[in-house]
């Protein structure tokens, strides 16, 4: 009986990793001048982190139902991204921080340039 209880307890302790999920996704831009451009990301749902291949950084994200949302801001630009985990559609809102550059691009105050991307889970870890 003690052995059976020990096996059950160990099984429960080790099964916690089954709920953690790391998914590699490949996203391709649907429209605009960079149509067809691809980027890959690693999403860790347990740590609520998204890892970017291009600059080897990560960002915390929040998840509402099936939508992953994260924001990135630097001294130069601001991104707001929504990724639907079920459909694979990614909506990106982007704008420069500098108001003069926004105006030069034809963006009004608090307006973003936007585009969509189609994302698919990738079977292999490529970074």
For 12, phi then psi, to 5°, come to -70, -40
26 class by beta-carbon count within 10 Å (0-12 exposed, 13-18 middle, 19+ buried): middle
What global pTM score does this model have? 0.70
Q: What is the pLDDT of residues 53-69, one digit of tens each?
A: 776 778 889 988 888 99
Q: What is the pLDDT of residues 105-114, one digit of tens each?
A: 888 888 888 8
Q: What is the pLDDT of residues 27-37, one digit of tens each?
A: 899 987 788 88
Residue 74: closest CA among 100, 107, 101, 97: 97
Quote the DSSP letter at residue 97.
S
* Confidence bin at 17 (pLDDT 50/70/90): very low
* Confidence bin at 116 (pLDDT 50/70/90): very high
**Domain ranges (residues) in the chain:** 20-121
CA distances for 9 relative to 13, 17, 48, 103, angstroms = 6, 14, 27, 62
């Amino acid at each position: 009986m003690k052995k059976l209880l020990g096996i059950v307890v160990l099984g429960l302790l080790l099964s916690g990793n089954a709920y953690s999920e790391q998914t590699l996704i490949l996203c391709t831009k649907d429209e605009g001048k960079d149509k067809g451009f691809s980027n890959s990301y690693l999403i860790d749902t347990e740590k609520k982190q998204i890892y970017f291949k291009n600059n080897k950084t990560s960002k915390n994200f929040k998840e509402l139902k099936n939508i992953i949302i994260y924001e990135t801001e630097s001294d130069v630009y601001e991104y707001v991204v929504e990724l639907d985990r079920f459909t694979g559609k990614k909506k990106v809102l982007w704008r420069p921080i500098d108001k003069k550059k926004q105006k030069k691009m034809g963006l009004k105050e608090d307006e973003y340039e936007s585009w969509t991307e189609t994302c698919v889970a990738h079977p292999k870890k490529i970074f």
